[in-house]
Structure 1
Amino acid sequence: MKLLLPALLLALGAHAVKREDFKECAQTSFCRRLRPLSSKSEVADFTSPYSLGSPSPAVSPHIGTPAKDAAWTFPLTSTLYPDVGFELRVDVLDGDIAQVRVDEVGSASPWRRYNETAKWALLSPEPAHVRASITTKKGVSSIKYGTGLELRINHSPLRIAMLRGGTEEIVFNDRGLFHMEHFRTKEIAIEEEEVVKAEDGEEVKTEEGAEVTTEEPVEVKSEPEEQKPFEATIDRSWFETEDGDLFEEHWKRWRDSKPKGPEAFSLDLTFPRAKHVFGLPEHASPLSLPDTIGEGSYYSEPYRLWNVDIFEYVADSPMALYGAVPLLHAHSAQGTVGVLNLVASETWVDVAHTKGVQTHWISESGIMDLLLLPGPNPTALFEQYATLTGPAQMPPQFATAYHQCRWNYNTQGEVIEVQDRFEEADMPLDVTWLDIEYADEHRYFDWNKKMFPDPVAMLDQVAKLGRKMVAIVDPHIKRTDSFRVYKDSLDLDILIKKADNNNFDGWCWPGSSVWVDFFNPKSWEWWTRMFSFETWADQTKALFVWNDMNEPSVFDGPEITMPKDNIHAGGWEHRDVHNINGMLFHNQTQHAISVREPTKKRPFVLSRAYFAGSHRYGAIWTGDNLGTWEHLAGESAMFLSNSIAGMSFVGADIGGFFGNPGTEMLVRWYQAGAFMPFMRAHAHIDTKRREPYLYDEPIRSHLRDALRLRYTLLPTWYNAFHDAATKGYPVIWPQYAKFPADESGAAVDDQYYVGDSGLLFKPVVVEGATTTEVYLAANEPYYDYFSARMWPARAKPRNITLDTPLDKFPLLIEGGHIFPSRERVRRASSLMGQDPVTLTVALGKNGAHGQLYLDDGETFAWERGEFVHRELAYADGRLRSTQKVPHDAHNAFARSIAAVGVERVRVLGLNKAPSSVTVAGREVQFEWEKGAPKAKEPRAGILTIKNPGVKVVDDWEIVIA
């Protein structure tokens, strides 16, 4: 076994992704069947075979309990299969979100379509308090709701449009591509296939009396002889193509038994006014999704949503990666709308910029569950998405600082050496990570005592420096009777099953492994107990967790993951729930960490796999990237794509997981890393050591400067994380979301803004670059963060060029903003909580605004009002700090930082020196650095107010005369 594993890993990740290990659309039968619908729809007489009956008020509860006048059901039929029943349901939810679902009903089949994706992805809100009305006339139902919103439902053929002010913004089934494969027996499927052949004019050769057998027992829906060939008025071959893989599918050496037969569905969504669509993470693609179909398309394959473990993924590709969020934003300068397609099975999405933007979604199983988000702008979409899925988790403060990892720090001594070397180099560090080698025989929870003889002592030694540690806990469990976790899972019968209902075993890091079924509620309390201090004694409260490989990654499985016909709790197949699987593991782990102490603490758990709603549970990263300029250049678009889908606590392995970047590239990675929401350096076991303290000058100073800048700006990052946790806003904002009316900048994805701070960052991603272009959209002045060089306000967006030698990179401040910082960088962020704050005021045309949010950084007391949240505003020569939200300003946390003051105020953009600066009538010291607003390279005037004598917890006003 020990000889086989390295060879297997070499095969998995030699020097580039092995594309042949992962399917293309034509290699998976449901995509092969349904993707051609798009081209067939261009036939002149093509029309949708689906029609609706009359609406009825819905009575069954859904998400909460919808108001009786805001939910309706429609019988849905297809002329292809008039004896098959479907139902379409419309709900109007809080936030003016319309939900449209389709399920098969009244089937004699023992099977059901998977309908629980919403259960895991969405919150369970209070009953919807919405007002909506429906009228039906001449085959058209009109549902009116919100402010000027309407769902216009054409009954025959089926077509649903969301209109605002009478203008269509989202159209379902505009091209007639909606099709839902119904449950059938293999015998009936063969007869239907013969009908299709006959309609195509092909000769049908079926040996009379031939016996049809299946390897899996199949319930018969009705006697085959009762089925009559369908006399079609619509060419059935448009929707049903000959396919020998309906009930069994083979790929390479794997067999998928497919006991339920075909149950895929297709739908088209058109955005008539849109010029861009964003979202569908996770892909290594541009933020504005390029075409995948049509003449001259950028990609030839659809965007695939199917969580997989891809070593050394391609830097520009629609291939599936580790996470899947089926969310789209459709955008133009006239408005932005969104759709969330709640399906957890394998899904492919084609995009074409034709008649606005057209999209075609193809999923293997499940019900259709569409949520239409009306916008009308990106900020509203973020709020609406948070209404559905919840806001992001508020992370512990240390998690927003710097993390140091590699595969692997192999001994207790190495861990302590890392702490010492960071100290000697005067480089801050908050978290040191341990990869799989800390665990004895890769049995997570069990330390390798030869290499880590006293884990508790090690953790305590690290904690004394104000730091934390993270250890990996993967979902695969070593299959050996001597491992307590394996024995427990057997005794509780909570393992994922094979199609034959025996426990599934596969190959991963420990060798032969099993996987806990976290869809089984019996696993939840047990998993929580695994992380208790009583059960896992070799830990302390300074240890946090990393959930890797949770797609799940199975080295000897199809596409390096689990077979689709595996069985989960409730009888659901793995094909139904695959993209949710990693989220459930993440959820249960973060819960276990949060409750292991008597006072509930904010957990930190990093996950690789994720789905819609995973942002409630912690951070993610972009997986096994490469230390190349191409991967460095592509990361910003990936961050932004994730961020607009809620997953904004995201980062990439600094330096690249694979490879040995040179010093120039490493410096650029660290500069980029300082502006990743999740900042972690990580490297493969075969790479050279590249901790930042290992380098000689001047490289060491460049790396130190990037680290220290991150720590200086931690209060600004914390503001952004708080907005994500309370409003659903992204931590980093793309151009189109900040400036939705600016059409020319909508596709810009190589720079971004940090929260509401006005800080605009762009990484340098070109080897040898000494200049870099930045796109400025606001009609405000911009200031260089480092030099106070100023670019005056301009009515039209423009590009500017900055000098970027190796020690420089673009970091600008948009005028009109105030942001906080802490200039006294210490060895760890936990030691900076009593340090004074600096406020930078970058004046715009109408003054400036900002905020300062502080809490204890580790508990949930902030949810009970234990925080300080200040509104900062500058206007007419007065800088004010006031309470931002009504609450007890003298709460326990506020009292604990009562002595923390503002040590410096820096004002950029004043035209002349003030005559005085006063606080409550008392003059305070200031320095004035004259600007040069009319120079060839304008420079802002800088007013520095030293020690104004104000506290962060108080209301105050500084008057600049």
Structure 2
Amino acid sequence: MKAQMKNLNLLLLLLLFSLHLTSVLSWKKDEFRNCNQTPFCKRARSRKPGYSSLLATDVTISDGDLVAKLLPKDLNDQINPLILSISAYQDGILRLRIDEDPSSDPPPPKKRFQVPDVIVPEFDNKKLWLQTLSTETFHGDASPSSVAYLSDAYEAVLRHDPFEVYVRDKSNGNRVISLNSHGLFDFEQLRAKKTKNEQQNEGDHHQDQDQNQDQDQDEAHDQAQDHNHDHDQNEDDWAETFRGHTDKRPYGPQSISFDVSFYGADFVYGIPERASSFALKPTRGPGLEDHSEPYRLFNLDVFEYIHDAPFGLYGSIPFMISHGKSYGTSGFFWLNAAEMQIDVLSAGWDADSGISLPSDRTRIDTFWMSEAGIVDTFFFVGPGPKDVVRQYTSVTGTPAMPQHFATAYHQCRWNYRDEEDVDQVDSKFDENDIPYDVLWLDIEHTDGKRYFSWDRVLFPHPEEMQNKLAAKGRHMVTIVDPHIKRDDSYFLHKEATQKGYYVKDANGNDFDGWCWPGSSSYPDTLNPVIRSWWADKFSYDNYVGSTPSLYIWNDMNEPSVFNGPELTMPRDSLHYGGVEHRELHNAYGYYFHMATADGLLKRGNGNDRPFVLSRAIFAGSQRHGAIWTGDNSAEWDHLRVSVPMILTLGLTGISFSGADVGGFFGNPEPELLVRWYQVGAFYPFFRAHAHHDTKRREPWLFGERNTELIRDAIHVRYMLLPYFYTLFREANTSGVPVVRPLWMEFPSEEATFNNDEAFMVGNSILVQGIYTEVQL
């Protein structure tokens, strides 16, 4: 009977893998939700300018912050007060936080999640303690606005009625960035589900209110009332289903949305990770189809992603930067790890709103929507491109300084077969006079996809293999993913189970999902105790067969779950402190990356600069290592789109990034491969990588002429290593990226503003790739 069950389980596993591979060998829209299938996005997009009915009251200074309550204009609105705080920091940084009032009656059923361990501790030391507020009244406003010091050049303004926050230039009164200028702010508050009797009684109360309501109340108030009534009565608030997966919501909808405007801007950039143009294209407004999608920030395992799409990939950094000839550069960051959708609004989208905003300068409006979390936002005033990047990385940290070898050329494949294959590839590089510094091993080097182990048939002497490379000054990288094989004989699974260190499902049991090993569970690295435990696994005693020249690759850490909704973890899974997965999804890989980097620090070989590559990213990932752009394809369009992807990552703090040279999927024609090496030699992270189903493509396999051209490209990289190393140090101290958009070095040249084919390496080298076949 046990043998029959084992065979049945094996068949089910093979069927699951075949279904997974069928669905992901090419990107399929139906696998993933669009805005209309995402309730919080659909609700937010349906709202019209002027929807928000909140006003700021009880404005005061407390602990150096401007503090206020946000209350509905109509006291019949069934929402509790929100608490707003504005903090000023050195170098012209404004922080705006809005959360539920814990002292309200009734109090929120739980504390909303605030993303920890992203803001660097030293940032708090830069706070400016506000002492006084000045007031002024705008024409037509019923109440004054409060004005607070931000810097000698800028000040922050809280408009009371209607509620709005913006930064303005003191010298001319011009706005730089504003929030809620169009009245689109909405904050869905946590609720405990009512019994049927409570719902009926409240419904009767609302019905009495509706009968006595003034028929001439404004449209925005109608929308708010309808919104509140729907939330009290709608059973869909407490669960939703997508492709057979049901997401339970024990606290109802908890989304937040608001508009943000950038003044004096010609273009906006940022919010990686996506395979599209560098300058963000409008997603809503005149001339755009009704079915256009917002930019989605939701970490997902997307095989063979398509280019020129707003769809979110493996990472999410909710940081947007604007640039224009009229003002310069400014930035906006929302510290929130839940799913986010962002619209860039085309000119005239608000033509019928009746809202008047300054019209003498160019302006770009955007609309930000998130499923959960709090408002914890940062305004960066620039005014130059490097100023904004420096300001942003003063909050989330500057990039880690890599070791010299990590800035050189890396050779990778899924998978080098065995120790003999490794030795032959290493020897061939020497034979062909092609330098390289790092050789990589993918999942097949392990014992049955059990991480921290070796297949002792294929790799019987891992220490000796690594030491042979180290004798030549070379290094090895092995893969360690977050899915832990559920095998009672596997030491890691046994220990994690006993200690209760796995993410839980909605019922409180260890979450069980499917990934490469089959049935798997995932360490809850939100918990600092579990991060420390995970870090200990990289000691030489625990990771048997590892040596000081071995470094680590974190893949599949979005997290990837083959049988989960959208190939990831269910949103109602539970983490440390009762945090729902929906609240921290985009940061899961970040915490896993952090724990792994800490592990290499703790293993104690005297090296304080670990190398860890991660696929999933979040704000702050730059402090822990390199990232790459994931499973691209051997296509000319993917070569071209790699440049704006890497430029965008650099603008958002992550300097150490690159794309798989040659494309992960498919077999590149020789000219494409050569052109990719010629561009890739200038990526900050320079690695060739390929799927195991592709033909071998080491640099010497494409004929003498092509080998010569690839060799020349790699030699150029090695010739420039001192320059690259210097640029990495500059990034480490200032946040300014290694590779830069042209307008970062030439901020007044309008022709550079939407150029995403050429880029600067530092301030001295301009690179223009060749992205079409021209016959070598």
TM-score under structure 1 normalisation? 0.73
Match of 2:24 in 1: 13
Taking a change above 3 Å as real, the CA distance of residues 129 and 556 of structure 1, as seen in their structure-2 partners, is closer
- For 1:73 and 1:19, how far apart are their aligned partners in 2? 44
Match of 1:345 in 2: 338
- For 2:305 and 2:364, how far apart are their aligned partners in 1? 28
Secondary structure in structure 2 of the residue aligned to 1:469: strand
Within the candidate set 761, 766, 772, 1:760 is matched to 766
**Aligned partners of 1:346 and 1:364 also within 8 Å:** yes
* Residues 1:98 and 2:99 are matched in the alignment: no
- For 1:6 and 1:557, how far apart are their aligned partners in 2? 13
* Residues 1:548 and 2:555 are matched in the alignment: yes
Match of 1:847 in 2: none
Match of 2:180 in 1: 173
Which residue type is aligned with residue 59 of structure 2? P
Secondary structure in structure 2 of the residue aligned to 1:31: helix
Which residue type is aligned with residue 266 of structure 1? S
Following superposition, the deviation at residue 544 of structure 1 comes to 0.3
* Residues 1:86 and 2:77 are matched in the alignment: no
Within the candidate set 530, 543, 549, 2:537 is matched to 530
Within the candidate set 233, 238, 249, 2:223 is matched to 238
Taking a change above 3 Å as real, the CA distance of residues 718 and 385 of structure 1, as seen in their structure-2 partners, is same
Within the candidate set 58, 62, 68, 2:62 is matched to 58
Secondary structure in structure 2 of the residue aligned to 1:481: coil
- For 1:611 and 1:416, how far apart are their aligned partners in 2? 36
Match of 2:295 in 1: 303
More contact order relative to length (CA 8 Å, sep ≥ 6): 2
Following superposition, the deviation at residue 13 of structure 1 comes to 2.3
Where in structure 1 are there 5+ consecutive unaligned residues?
60-67, 189-209, 214-219, 770-805, 807-961
Within the candidate set 50, 53, 67, 1:73 is matched to 67
Which residue type is aligned with residue 27 of structure 2? V
Match of 2:15 in 1: 4
Match of 2:491 in 1: 484
**Aligned partners of 2:87 and 2:127 also within 8 Å:** no
- For 2:79 and 2:42, how far apart are their aligned partners in 1? 26
Secondary structure in structure 1 of the residue aligned to 2:494: helix
- For 1:598 and 1:706, how far apart are their aligned partners in 2? 34
**Aligned partners of 1:595 and 1:601 also within 8 Å:** no
Residue-by-residue CA offset, 1:720-754 (whole Å, 9 max, x unaligned): 10001011110111012111112221111111111
- For 1:122 and 1:528, how far apart are their aligned partners in 2? 20
Where in structure 2 are there 5+ consecutive unaligned residues?
1-9, 137-142, 348-361
CA RMSD of aligned residues (A): 2.0
Within the candidate set 49, 54, 58, 2:53 is matched to 49
* Residues 1:159 and 2:164 are matched in the alignment: yes
**Aligned partners of 2:501 and 2:523 also within 8 Å:** yes
- For 1:184 and 1:492, how far apart are their aligned partners in 2? 32
Within the candidate set 18, 25, 43, 2:35 is matched to 25
Larger helix share, 1 or 2: 2
- For 1:211 and 1:57, how far apart are their aligned partners in 2? 43
Match of 2:305 in 1: 313
Match of 2:631 in 1: 624
**Aligned partners of 2:333 and 2:378 also within 8 Å:** yes
- For 1:111 and 1:212, how far apart are their aligned partners in 2? 17
Computing the radius of gyration from Cα coordinates, the structure with the larger value is 1
Taking a change above 3 Å as real, the CA distance of residues 357 and 72 of structure 1, as seen in their structure-2 partners, is same
- For 1:27 and 1:100, how far apart are their aligned partners in 2? 30
Larger strand share, 1 or 2: 1
Following superposition, the deviation at residue 554 of structure 1 comes to 0.3
Match of 1:699 in 2: 706
**Aligned partners of 1:131 and 1:145 also within 8 Å:** no
Match of 2:592 in 1: 585
Which residue type is aligned with residue 272 of structure 2? P
**Aligned partners of 1:719 and 1:755 also within 8 Å:** no
* Residues 1:265 and 2:256 are matched in the alignment: yes
- For 1:713 and 1:280, how far apart are their aligned partners in 2? 30
Match of 1:929 in 2: none
- For 1:608 and 1:286, how far apart are their aligned partners in 2? 20
Following superposition, the deviation at residue 247 of structure 1 comes to 1.1
* Residues 1:136 and 2:132 are matched in the alignment: no
Residue-by-residue CA offset, 1:404-450 (whole Å, 9 max, x unaligned): 11111121111111101111111101000000000111001110101
Equivalent runs, 1:575-654 vs 2, <5 Å: 575-654=582-661
- For 1:211 and 1:442, how far apart are their aligned partners in 2? 53
Following superposition, the deviation at residue 160 of structure 1 comes to 1.5
Match of 1:111 in 2: 109
Within the candidate set 278, 287, 290, 2:281 is matched to 290
Taking a change above 3 Å as real, the CA distance of residues 184 and 32 of structure 1, as seen in their structure-2 partners, is same
Secondary structure in structure 1 of the residue aligned to 2:672: helix
**Aligned partners of 1:639 and 1:650 also within 8 Å:** yes
Which residue type is aligned with residue 714 of structure 2? L
Match of 1:843 in 2: none
**Aligned partners of 1:79 and 1:234 also within 8 Å:** no
Secondary structure in structure 2 of the residue aligned to 1:55: strand
- For 1:4 and 1:280, how far apart are their aligned partners in 2? 37
**Aligned partners of 1:665 and 1:767 also within 8 Å:** yes
Following superposition, the deviation at residue 134 of structure 1 comes to 1.6
Following superposition, the deviation at residue 3 of structure 1 comes to 2.6
Which residue type is aligned with residue 345 of structure 1? A
- For 2:121 and 2:127, how far apart are their aligned partners in 1? 16
Which residue type is aligned with residue 690 of structure 2? A
- For 2:69 and 2:412, how far apart are their aligned partners in 1? 56
- For 1:520 and 1:670, how far apart are their aligned partners in 2? 41
Which residue type is aligned with residue 75 of structure 1? K
- For 1:153 and 1:177, how far apart are their aligned partners in 2? 16
- For 1:161 and 1:601, how far apart are their aligned partners in 2? 42
Following superposition, the deviation at residue 130 of structure 1 comes to 2.6
**Aligned partners of 1:546 and 1:606 also within 8 Å:** yes
Secondary structure in structure 2 of the residue aligned to 1:610: coil
* Residues 1:149 and 2:145 are matched in the alignment: no
- For 2:746 and 2:184, how far apart are their aligned partners in 1? 34
Following superposition, the deviation at residue 131 of structure 1 comes to 6.0
Taking a change above 3 Å as real, the CA distance of residues 99 and 107 of structure 1, as seen in their structure-2 partners, is farther
**Aligned partners of 1:657 and 1:684 also within 8 Å:** yes
**Aligned partners of 1:134 and 1:141 also within 8 Å:** yes
Residue-by-residue CA offset, 1:898-956 (whole Å, 9 max, x unaligned): xxxxxxxxxxxxxxxxxxxxxxxxxxxxxxxxxxxxxxxxxxxxxxxxxxxxxxxxxxx
**Aligned partners of 1:103 and 1:113 also within 8 Å:** no
Within the candidate set 220, 232, 247, 2:238 is matched to 247
Taking a change above 3 Å as real, the CA distance of residues 83 and 708 of structure 1, as seen in their structure-2 partners, is closer
- For 1:493 and 1:110, how far apart are their aligned partners in 2? 28
Following superposition, the deviation at residue 528 of structure 1 comes to 1.8
Which residue type is aligned with residue 93 of structure 1? Y
**Aligned partners of 1:49 and 1:234 also within 8 Å:** no
Following superposition, the deviation at residue 545 of structure 1 comes to 0.2
Following superposition, the deviation at residue 113 of structure 1 comes to 4.9
**Aligned partners of 2:109 and 2:192 also within 8 Å:** no
Taking a change above 3 Å as real, the CA distance of residues 237 and 684 of structure 1, as seen in their structure-2 partners, is farther
Following superposition, the deviation at residue 121 of structure 1 comes to 4.2
**Aligned partners of 2:536 and 2:602 also within 8 Å:** no
Following superposition, the deviation at residue 48 of structure 1 comes to 2.9
Which residue type is aligned with residue 88 of structure 1? L
Quote the sequence identity (%).
40
Q: 651-660 or 296-305, which moves further after superposition?
A: 296-305
- For 1:274 and 1:118, how far apart are their aligned partners in 2? 32
Equivalent runs, 1:427-576 vs 2, <5 Å: 427-576=434-583
Secondary structure in structure 1 of the residue aligned to 2:599: helix
**Aligned partners of 1:94 and 1:387 also within 8 Å:** no
- For 1:250 and 1:152, how far apart are their aligned partners in 2? 42
TM-score under structure 2 normalisation? 0.90
